[in-house]
């Protein structure tokens, strides 16, 4: 087991997160050194140890899911790491079996050889027992066929942090008010090849290199954006389940959801900002869920995305 990264990615500043940002999770403080938090189901009070439904597919797997996603394809290069700062919201769902999430997909391979490491926030009452946005991680090594799961519900992701944990509740942003963000970095460790996840500057844990095949050397593609699943059977074209804030990108900052710090690295240290001309967009139902790329006041590219769904 790797206790901590062999080195930290350039630009990642290890810091403590303000307690008011992450809601009630920190009211009791963090766990003692050498231990990790264990999430218990809100209804049963039991530790969540079962394997969950394998929802959380990348945008190429459009089976009852809808997306507003941008994609960077490295072509002949290998992506060693990717970053995202994601605006947190609490979208409403048409059905408790639906979900809505915002995340970063870090993937390699295709077809049955698709490998992913995924992280973001999700509202999914059927899985968590409530409608709060919660931090999640996910992985698969065979295109969601028989490997992988959410969080720590099966062997795979190794948690090392006593402060952050998959499943912890997050405080959503306020319409035209305070915008709360989740900073995520996925970075391949130089010495071990493990894929470390940093949450708001803290190393939370890693996906072991050994659980993968096509991803072992790094990713081919990174995707950023939102996804919903429609449990009614209409394929996501006739549901009022919201994505992101529930507003289309045209609403702008403070109303529409966004992702910034769209960065990648090909050598684990020199981070590169993605440019609009290097990205592909995926939004099969743009009247329901869409995306727009805008240049922020900082001069960097921002992704605005989401929507209210459709009747």
Pairing state between β 158-159 and 181-188: unpaired
- DSSP per position, 192-211: T--EEEEETTEEEEEE-GGG
With b for 16 or more beta-carbon neighbours within 10 A and e for fewer, the 48-63 pattern comes to: beeebebbbbbbbebe
Return the bridge partners of 136, or none: 120
How far is 15 from 29, CA to CA, in rounded Å? 15
Task: Classify strands 99-108 and 115-123 as parallel, antiparallel or unpaired.
Answer: antiparallel
- If we measure between CA atoms, which residue out of 124, 126, 44 comes closest to residue 91? 124
Q: Which of 168, 195, 196, 194 lies closest to 182, judged by CA?
A: 168
118 annotated active-site: yes
Q: What is the rounded CA–CA span in Å between residue 181 and residue 114?
A: 29
Pick the closest to residue 96 from 237, 230, 261 (CA basis). 230
Annotated active-site residue in 71, 118, 181, 223: 118
Active-site pick, 71, 181, 223, 227? 227
CA distance 86 to 303: 10
Locus of tokens 């440019």: 275
What positions carry a catalytic annotation?
Answer: 118, 227
């Amino acid at each position: 087991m790797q206790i901590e990264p062999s080195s930290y990615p350039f630009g990642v500043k290890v810091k403590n997160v303000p307690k008011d940002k992450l809601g009630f999770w920190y009211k009791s403080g963090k766990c003692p050194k050498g231990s990790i938090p264990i999430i218990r189901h809100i209804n049963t009070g039991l530790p969540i140890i079962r394997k969950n439904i394998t929802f959380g597919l990348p945008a190429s797997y459009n089976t009852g899911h809808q997306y507003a996603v941008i994609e960077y394809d490295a072509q002949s290069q290998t992506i060693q790491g990717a970053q995202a700062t994601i605006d947190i919201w609490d979208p409403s769902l048409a059905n408790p079996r639906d979900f809505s999430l915002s995340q970063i997909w870090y993937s390699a391979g295709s077809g049955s050889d698709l490998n992913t490491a995924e992280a973001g926030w999700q509202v999914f009452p059927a899985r968590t027992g409530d409608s709060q946005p919660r931090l999640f991680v996910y992985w698969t090594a065979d295109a969601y066929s028989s490997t992988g799961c959410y969080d720590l519900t099966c062997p795979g992701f190794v948690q090392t942090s006593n402060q952050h944990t998959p499943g912890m509740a997050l405080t959503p942003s306020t319409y035209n008010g305070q915008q709360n963000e989740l900073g995520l970095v996925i970075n391949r460790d130089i010495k071990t090849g493990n894929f470390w996840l940093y949450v708001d500057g803290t190393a939370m844990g890693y996906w072991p290199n050994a659980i993968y095949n096509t991803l072992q050397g790094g990713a081919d593609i990174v995707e950023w954006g939102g996804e919903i699943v429609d449990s009614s059977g209409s394929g996501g074209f006739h549901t009022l389940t919201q994505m992101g804030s529930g507003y289309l990108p045209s609403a702008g900052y403070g109303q529409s959801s966004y992702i910034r710090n769209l960065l990648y690295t090909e050598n684990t240290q020199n981070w590169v900002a993605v440019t609009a001309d290097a990205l592909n967009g995926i939004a099969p139902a743009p009247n329901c869920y869409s995306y727009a790329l805008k240049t922020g006041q900082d001069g960097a590219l921002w992704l605005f995305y989401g929507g209210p769904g459709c009747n």
